[in-house]
């Protein structure tokens, strides 16, 4: 038995020593570098192929996988190139590996930055790319024979130009003030370019919204009142009117809509760079939206799918501009980019052929060389072939993207004007533009987040059992040692264990919701309130008290901006209105439509308070504080309630807190006929969502596009083109002055809270701490 144990130990020592010796051997060094090359190449290829998928999904693996690949790829390339250069043992494959990594680092079109802040890191990225260039150049010098210098250096120059494209794509996204200023100055005078009232939004006649123009042919000076004007020949400037008046069969309605989305993207991009939307107050803009985009077809119905498709494509342009290389390819020389890609693919294929034949010893022969194995040759050849295929596929796929489609239409119209159409190249582009790939079917996830404050409270009827769990007791003792209760006076570990609130699963965006929003917007003609006008139109004036902010103290600014109190009050009422009772009967089709719209939009608004408060009116700090407190209030109330509906009915009518206001509101709603009640709720939530959509936080909207996007961003863009940029009184009817004040009871008066707002603001500091710790303890308790 003892001999057997000694034998096992001896084998282990021998195996360990052999592994260490191999790791330090010349062959082990090359294999280690080869593995790093493969891992870095896989990460870069993954970004090139799947980089744009993150805007279509909020899946954890997709988002974090792309983040991990984007973050690690730079470090892996740096470490791998440094290892090749500093290695005492050289391989004939080193220059091929180094050039391959450098090309991959710059050739991906689908992702150039992960966040908007990455676009501001131009100098850091420039320094990084120069270091890469020096590394690769040194590797080529030390491992390449004079016969291979020319080929390697030519490919290195192409690779550097590819990396430079990536750098300038980020520079364009962060510093293209000149483009936005030109559009802003042009739109300031656009309404006068259509000869007064001679415009038709149905045919786009008289609408000179810019689509494409020569970027270098513009001027700014005293002669133009210091406004940037286009100096190019009129035939070179493409606007919406020219595209819409083109009746050629090659320019389909789908291509025209893509160009319209591109033009609207130019208008929306101004807001990111801080330029004014001068046309927003013009009647022509109002007609463009309500008589053009929202025009009715022969059946008298608005094509709401087309409306949202236009906005979806517009936001796709916005995402590509800030996070990919497509904008640089579009605005730059397409011939130069095409030539560069073809030359790069050709040279890489030549290198692949050379690397797989004995001829490579003539071109790549280091001074201290290690014999190249078959595995090295196969891996290198596969890597080079993948790069060549990637270059060719990206070149072809560009013309199937929305950028390629706009480029084709503009070039087609220019050639039509000059009567020079008919080239084989244009016909090939036309075929590609009509090819609809998977990436062009859906640009963003077609889903709505949901959060039901009532049903999402997970209540543990016996929380004391959790206190007997050793890990939880240790954790709570640790909190006491850190004096957490003093630092975060509103954090109570026992309450965190008692209940944990969580959002529901996102649902597919129903067509009924889109239709309801478009119809309400068309009926209101852009005159929106925080739900009051919908109540008046439905003869529910007795509910107007619930549209007034009863819990915001004396801050006029907060009363006008922050709508969190209003959202939560009506959400609680909507949740309880949906509780089934014995009086419920079979619902009709119309009633079901109103019910679906009201419930989905109600839960979506609360979801935004929890997950994207920066997109809502007012300061996100206050929104998070209010939401956190009302959630705790609901948890305390529901903790001791066996029947939530009966417990609600037993509460006295009061407006002292938001939860009590919601309970009072639902009691008044239940006095109404069921069909009328849900009609009131559906119209209210439709108007409220439109009312809270305008925002000046453009950066947050764009950043969220990279994480799957939010539906409220689509509404924000839609309202921008309707001329609705904020919730100012210019577009709001003063209903209170037009109607008698509703009768109020003593219980309707808000209670004096003194420093309640100040106390609520302290919640945000511990919101994420409270939520994370509470969830962690809850999961531990369940599993243990």
Higher pLDDT, 107 or 733: 107
Residue 290 has which token pair?
A: 């309500």
Indicate whether 567 and 456 sit together in one domain: yes
* Alpha helices per DSSP H over 651-783: 658-670, 674-692, 698-705, 711-721, 735-738, 756-761, 764-783
Determine which of 309-318, 326-335, 380-389, 580-589 has the lowest per-residue pLDDT on average: 580-589
Residue 455 has which token pair?
A: 């049903």
Q: How many separate helices (H) and strands (E) can be counted in the chain?
A: 34, 10
Asked if residue 406 belongs to a domain, the reply is no
Asked if residue 440 belongs to a domain, the reply is no
Mapped onto helix, strand or coil, the DSSP state of residue 475 is helix
- The partner residues of 499 in beta bridges, in order of sequence, read 459
> Does residue 483 surpass a pLDDT of 80?
no
Determine which of 11-25, 32-46, 88-102 has the lowest per-residue pLDDT on average: 11-25
The whole-number pLDDT of residue 490 equals 43
What whole-number distance in Å separates Cα of residue 633 and Cα of residue 569?
13
The predicted-structure confidence for 706-731, as pLDDT tens digits, reads as follows 988 999 999 999 999 999 998 864 43
Chain mean pLDDT for the chain: 81
User: What is the rounded average pLDDT of the residues 292-317?
Assistant: 92
Determine which of 186-195, 235-244, 518-527 has the lowest per-residue pLDDT on average: 186-195
As a whole number of angstroms, the longest Cα–Cα distance in the chain is 104
227: left (phi over 0), alpha (psi -120 to 50) or beta: beta
Q: How far is CA 512 from the centre of its chain?
A: 24
The whole-number pLDDT of residue 498 equals 41
Length, in residues, of the chain? 784
Indicate the pLDDT class of residue 284, thresholds 50, 70 and 90.
Answer: very high
Indicate whether 136 and 196 sit together in one domain: no
User: What is the rounded average pLDDT of the residues 299-328?
Assistant: 94
Asked if residue 399 belongs to a domain, the reply is no
What whole-number distance in Å separates Cα of residue 440 and Cα of residue 545?
47
Mapped onto helix, strand or coil, the DSSP state of residue 458 is strand
- Please name the residue that has the structure tokens 């264990």: 497
The whole-number pLDDT of residue 445 equals 84
CA distances from 682 to 154, 267, 589, 601 (A): 65, 32, 14, 8
Asked if residue 380 belongs to a domain, the reply is yes
Residue where a domain stops, chosen among 391, 410, 440? 391
Asked if residue 639 belongs to a domain, the reply is yes
Mapped onto helix, strand or coil, the DSSP state of residue 459 is strand
Residue where a domain stops, chosen among 328, 358, 378? 328
The whole-number pLDDT of residue 467 equals 46
Q: Dihedral of CA 298/304/309/315: which sign?
A: positive
- pTM of the predicted model as reported, rounded to 2 decimal places: 0.85
The predicted-structure confidence for 656-675, as pLDDT tens digits, reads as follows 889 889 989 999 998 999 99
> Does residue 777 surpass a pLDDT of 60?
no
- Give φ, ψ of 144 to 5 degrees: -120, 135
Residue where a domain stops, chosen among 374, 391, 408? 391
Determine which of 72-81, 263-272, 355-364, 398-407 has the lowest per-residue pLDDT on average: 355-364
> Does residue 736 surpass a pLDDT of 70?
no
Indicate whether 157 and 207 sit together in one domain: no
> Does residue 410 surpass a pLDDT of 90?
yes
Residue 355 has which token pair?
A: 């690397």
Note down the domain range covering 506. Answer: 449-576+589-783
Quickly count: other Cβ atoms within 10 Å of residue 175's Cβ: 14
CA distances from 558 to 117, 158, 549, 622, 767 (A): 30, 56, 9, 9, 21
The whole-number pLDDT of residue 471 equals 64
Give percent above pLDDT 70 in the chain: 76
The whole-number pLDDT of residue 637 equals 78
- Give φ, ψ of 436 to 5 degrees: -100, 110
Indicate the pLDDT class of residue 748, thresholds 50, 70 and 90.
Answer: very low
* Best CA proximity match to 547, nearest among 651, 342, 746, 692: 692
Indicate whether 141 and 240 sit together in one domain: no
What whole-number distance in Å separates Cα of residue 319 and Cα of residue 327?
10
The whole-number pLDDT of residue 455 equals 80
Indicate the pLDDT class of residue 760, thresholds 50, 70 and 90.
Answer: very low
Asked if residue 411 belongs to a domain, the reply is no
What whole-number distance in Å separates Cα of residue 705 and Cα of residue 320?
10
The whole-number pLDDT of residue 475 equals 60
Indicate whether 90 and 181 sit together in one domain: no
CA atoms within 13 A of residue 174's CA, in its CB half-sphere: 17
Indicate whether 312 and 348 sit together in one domain: no
The predicted-structure confidence for 375-401, as pLDDT tens digits, reads as follows 888 898 899 999 999 999 999 999 999
Indicate the pLDDT class of residue 437, thresholds 50, 70 and 90.
Answer: low
Q: Dihedral of CA 332/333/338/339: which sign?
A: negative
The whole-number pLDDT of residue 98 equals 92
The whole-number pLDDT of residue 300 equals 83
Determine which of 38-52, 74-88, 220-234 has the lowest per-residue pLDDT on average: 220-234
Q: What would the 3-class secondary structure string for 358-391 be?
A: CCHHHHCCCCCEECCCHHHHHHHHHHHHHHHHHH
What whole-number distance in Å separates Cα of residue 602 and Cα of residue 688?
9
Indicate whether 190 and 161 sit together in one domain: no
- Strand runs (DSSP E) across 350-472, as ranges? 369-370, 447-450, 457-459
What whole-number distance in Å separates Cα of residue 118 and Cα of residue 418?
42
The whole-number pLDDT of residue 778 equals 42
User: What is the rounded average pLDDT of the residues 31-49?
Assistant: 93
Indicate the pLDDT class of residue 571, thresholds 50, 70 and 90.
Answer: very high
* Best CA proximity match to 616, nearest among 734, 532, 716, 509: 716
- Please name the residue that has the structure tokens 């001829």: 359
Asked if residue 415 belongs to a domain, the reply is no
What whole-number distance in Å separates Cα of residue 508 and Cα of residue 726?
28
Higher pLDDT, 778 or 611: 611
Indicate the pLDDT class of residue 4, thresholds 50, 70 and 90.
Answer: low
The whole-number pLDDT of residue 261 equals 97
User: What is the rounded average pLDDT of the residues 116-133?
Assistant: 92
Indicate whether 771 and 703 sit together in one domain: yes
Q: Dihedral of CA 620/64/493/456: which sign?
A: positive
**Total domains in the fold of the chain:** 3
Residue 310 has which token pair?
A: 């236009």
What whole-number distance in Å separates Cα of residue 484 and Cα of residue 476?
10
Indicate whether 766 and 750 sit together in one domain: yes
Indicate the pLDDT class of residue 194, thresholds 50, 70 and 90.
Answer: low
Determine which of 28-42, 452-466, 505-519 has the lowest per-residue pLDDT on average: 452-466
Give percent above pLDDT 90 in the chain: 44
The whole-number pLDDT of residue 501 equals 54
> Does residue 742 surpass a pLDDT of 80?
no
> Does residue 441 surpass a pLDDT of 90?
no
What's the N-to-C CA distance of the chain in angstroms?
41
DSSP result, 573-642? HHHHHTS--TT-----HHHHHHHHHHHHHHHHHHHHHHH-GGGSSS-HHHHHHHHHHHHHHHHHHHHT-S
Indicate whether 487 and 618 sit together in one domain: yes
DSSP-assigned letter for residue 290: I
Indicate whether 303 and 235 sit together in one domain: yes
Indicate the pLDDT class of residue 700, thresholds 50, 70 and 90.
Answer: very high
Indicate whether 348 and 321 sit together in one domain: no
Asked if residue 397 belongs to a domain, the reply is no
């Amino acid at each position: 038995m003892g001999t057997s144990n000694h034998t096992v130990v001896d084998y282990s020592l021998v195996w360990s020593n052999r592994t260490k010796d191999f790791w330090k051997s010349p062959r082990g060094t090359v294999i280690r570098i080869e593995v790093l090359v493969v891992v870095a190449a896989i990460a870069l290829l993954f970004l090139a192929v799947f980089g744009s998928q993150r805007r279509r999904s909020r899946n954890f693996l997709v988002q974090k996988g792309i983040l991990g690949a984007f973050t690690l790829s730079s470090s892996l390339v740096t470490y791998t190139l440094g290892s090749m250069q500093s290695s005492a043992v050289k391989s004939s494959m080193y220059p091929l590996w180094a050039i391959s990594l450098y090309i991959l680092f710059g050739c991906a079109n689908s992702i150039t930055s992960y966040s908007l802040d990455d676009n501001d890191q131009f100098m850091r990225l420039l320094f990084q790319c120069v270091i890469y260039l020096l590394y690769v150049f040194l590797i080529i010098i030390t491992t390449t024979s004079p016969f291979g210098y020319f080929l390697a250096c030519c490919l290195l120059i192409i690779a550097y130009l590819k990396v430079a494209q990536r750098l300038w794509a980020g520079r364009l996204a962060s510093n293209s003030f000149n483009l936005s200023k030109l559009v802003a100055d042009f739109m300031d005078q656009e309404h006068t370019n259509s000869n007064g009232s001679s415009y038709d939004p149905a045919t786009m006649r008289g609408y000179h919204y810019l689509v494409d123009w020569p970027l270098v042919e513009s001027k700014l000076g005293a002669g133009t009142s210091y406004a940037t004007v286009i100096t190019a020949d009129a035939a070179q400037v493409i606007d919406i009117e020219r595209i819409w008046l083109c009746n050629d069969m090659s320019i389909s309605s789908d291509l025209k809509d893509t160009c319209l989305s591109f033009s609207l993207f130019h208008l929306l991009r101004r807001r990111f760079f801080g330029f004014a939307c001068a046309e927003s107050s013009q009647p022509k803009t109002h007609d463009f939206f309500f008589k053009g985009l929202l025009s009715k077809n022969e059946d008298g119905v608005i094509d709401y799918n087309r409306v949202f498709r236009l906005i979806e494509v517009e936001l796709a342009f916005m995402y590509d501009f800030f996070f990919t290389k497509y904008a640089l390819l579009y605005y730059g020389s397409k011939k130069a980019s095409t030539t560069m890609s073809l030359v790069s693919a050709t040279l890489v294929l030549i290198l692949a052929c050379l690397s797989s034949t004995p001829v490579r010893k003539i071109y790549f022969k280091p001074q201290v060389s290690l014999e190249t194995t078959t595995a090295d040759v196969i891996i290198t050849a596969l890597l080079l072939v993948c790069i060549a295929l990637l270059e060719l596929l990206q070149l072809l796929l560009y013309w199937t993207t929305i950028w390629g489609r706009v480029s084709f239409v503009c070039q087609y119209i220019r050639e039509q004007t000059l009567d020079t159409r008919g080239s084989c190249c244009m016909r090939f582009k036309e075929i590609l533009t009509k090819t609809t790939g998977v990436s062009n079917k859906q640009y963003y996830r077609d889903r709505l987040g949901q959060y039901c404050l009532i049903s999402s409270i997970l209540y543990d009827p016996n929380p004391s059992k959790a206190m007997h769990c050793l890990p939880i007791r240790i954790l709570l003792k640790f909190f006491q040692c850190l004096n957490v209760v003093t630092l975060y006076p509103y954090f109570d570990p026992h309450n965190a264990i008692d209940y944990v609130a969580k959002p529901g699963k996102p649902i597919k965006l129903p067509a009924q919701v889109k239709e309801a929003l478009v119809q309400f917007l068309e009926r209101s003609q852009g005159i929106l309130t925080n739900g009051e006008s919908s109540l008046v139109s439905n003869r529910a004036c007795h509910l107007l008290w619930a549209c007034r902010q009863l819990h915001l103290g004396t801050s006029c600014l907060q009363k006008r901006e922050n709508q969190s109190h209003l959202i939560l009050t009506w959400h609680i009422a909507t949740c309880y209105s949906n509780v089934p009772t014995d009086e419920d009967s079979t619902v009709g089709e119309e009633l079901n439509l109103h019910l679906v719209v009201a419930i989905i939009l109600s839960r979506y608004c609360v979801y935004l308070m929890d997950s994207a408060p920066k997109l809502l009116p007012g300061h996100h700090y206050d929104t998070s504080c209010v939401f956190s407190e009302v959630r705790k209030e609901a948890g305390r109330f529901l903790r001791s309630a066996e029947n939530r509906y009966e417990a609600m009915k037993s509460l006295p009518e009061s407006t002292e807190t938001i939860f009590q206001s919601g309970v009072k509101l639902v009691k008044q709603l239940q006095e109404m006929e069921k069909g009328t009640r849900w009609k009131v709720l559906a119209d209210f939530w439709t108007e409220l969502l439109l009312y809270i959509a305008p925002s000046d936080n453009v950066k947050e909207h764009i950043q969220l596009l990279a994480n799957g996007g939010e539906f409220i961003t689509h509404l924000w863009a839609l309202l921008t083109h309707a001329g609705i940029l904020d919730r100012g009184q210019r577009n709001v009817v003063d209903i209170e002055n037009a109607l008698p004040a509703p009768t109020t009871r003593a219980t309707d008066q808000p209670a004096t809270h003194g420093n309640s707002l100040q106390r609520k603001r302290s919640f945000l500091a511990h919101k994420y701490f409270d939520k994370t710790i509470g969830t962690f303890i809850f999961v531990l308790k369940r599993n243990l």
